[in-house]
C-alpha cells in the first residue's frame, strides 16, 4: 500500500486569510492543523491551539478576530511525503508531526495524511494501558482564564472535566478557541476583560463525554473515535478515570 491510498484531500488556507476563516474550516472539516499556502506553495500550518492562544491574548483584545491574518501565526511544523512512497514511511513522520503534506513531483500540494487517516489502515497491537496518556482533570466551576493558563504553561491540550467526583465533560483547545471567538464577537471590547474572567469551564466544555472501559479492544476503541470524530477517549476502570487514549498516542504506538 502506498501513500496515495490513504491520503485525504488537503485542507488548506491562504496565508492572507483571517484566523476566524481558518477556525471555521478546521471545524467544518474536523482537521487540525490546517495547511497554510502562499501562491500554492506550502509554507506551514496553523493549529487550533495557536488560535486559542491568539483569542485569549490581552495584546489582541483590541483587535477583532475577523481582522487577524493567518500569515502572522504560521508554524513550520509539518513533514512531507510523495504519493508513491510506501505507507510505512508515514508512521515515523506522523510520530514527529500532526500532519504529513503530500506533494507531487512538482512539489505541488495534492493531499495530506493525519492521525485518523493512518489509523484507518493500521492499528497498534499492544494493550491499551501501554498507550494511555495521563488524564488531566479540572473542576467544572474553575474559571476559563485559569484553564487557559494551565494549557499554556503546562502544554496540556485537553482536560477531563469533573464535578462531585464524576466525569461531566471534556474541554479542549478547540472549545477555548471557539468560545473566545464567539465571546469577542458578541461582547463590546470595554466589557471583555471583566466578562471573560467570569466564564467557567462548564460554560464551554463539551458534554456528554464519550468514554470506554479499560477492557475495550483496541480496534473497537479506534473505530469509536474515528466514527465519532473525537481525538481523545477517556478510559475508565471500575468507574474511575484511568487515563486518556488519543489518536496521537495510538499512532505513537504503531
Which of the four CATH numbers 3.30.360.10, 2.60.120.560, 3.40.50.720, 3.10.580.10 does domain 3-119 have? 3.10.580.10
Hey, do 3-119 and 128-252 end up sharing a CATH topology, with the first three levels equal? yes
Give pLDDT, residue 148.
86
How far apart CA 210 and CA 141 sit, in angstroms, is 21
> Model pTM?
0.86
Comparing CA positions, the residue from 69, 29, 76 lying closest to residue 51 is 69
**Domain residue spans in the chain?**
3-119, 128-252
The pLDDT tens digits of the residues spanning 165-202 come to 899 999 998 888 888 777 666 555 555 555 667 889 99
The top-level CATH class assigned to 128-252 is alpha beta
pLDDT surpasses 90 at 42:
yes
61-75, 185-199, 208-222, 228-242: least confident range: 185-199
Amino acid at each position: 500500500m502506498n501513500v496515495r491510498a490513504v491520503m485525504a484531500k488537503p485542507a488548506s488556507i491562504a496565508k492572507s486569510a483571517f484566523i476566524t476563516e481558518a477556525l471555521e474550516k478546521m471545524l467544518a472539516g474536523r482537521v487540525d492543523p490546517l495547511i497554510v499556502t502562499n501562491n500554492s506553495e506550502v509554507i506551514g500550518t496553523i493549529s487550533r491551539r495557536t488560535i486559542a492562544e491568539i483569542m485569549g491574548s490581552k495584546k489582541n483584545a483590541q483587535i477583532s478576530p475577523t481582522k487577524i491574518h493567518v500569515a502572522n501565526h504560521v508554524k513550520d511544523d509539518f513533514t512531507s511525503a510523495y504519493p508513491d512512497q510506501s505507507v510505512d514511511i508515514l508512521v515515523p513522520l506522523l510520530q514527529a508531526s500532526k500532519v504529513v503534506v503530500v506533494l507531487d513531483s512538482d512539489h505541488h500540494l495534492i493531499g495530506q495524511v493525519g492521525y485518523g487517516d493512518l489509523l484507518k489502515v493500521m492499528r497498534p497491537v499492544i494493550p491499551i494501558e501501554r498507550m494511555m496518556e495521563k488524564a488531566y482533570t479540572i473542576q467544572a466551576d474553575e474559571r476559563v482564564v485559569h484553564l487557559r493558563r494551565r494549557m499554556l504553561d503546562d502544554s496540556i491540550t485537553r482536560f477531563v472535566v469533573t464535578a462531585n467526583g464524576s466525569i461531566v465533560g471534556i474541554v479542549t483547545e478547540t472549545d477555548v478557541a471557539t468560545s473566545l471567538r464567539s465571546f469577542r464577537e458578541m461582547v463590546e471590547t470595554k466589557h471583555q476583560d471583566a466578562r471573560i474572567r467570569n466564564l467557567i469551564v462548564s460554560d464551554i466544555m463539551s458534554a456528554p463525554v464519550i468514554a470506554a472501559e479499560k477492557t475495550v479492544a483496541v480496534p473497537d476503541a479506534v473505530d469509536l473515535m474515528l466514527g465519532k470524530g473525537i481525538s481523545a477517549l477517556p478510559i475508565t476502570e471500575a468507574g474511575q478515570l484511568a487515563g486518556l487514549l488519543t489518536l496521537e498516542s495510538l499512532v505513537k504506538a504503531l
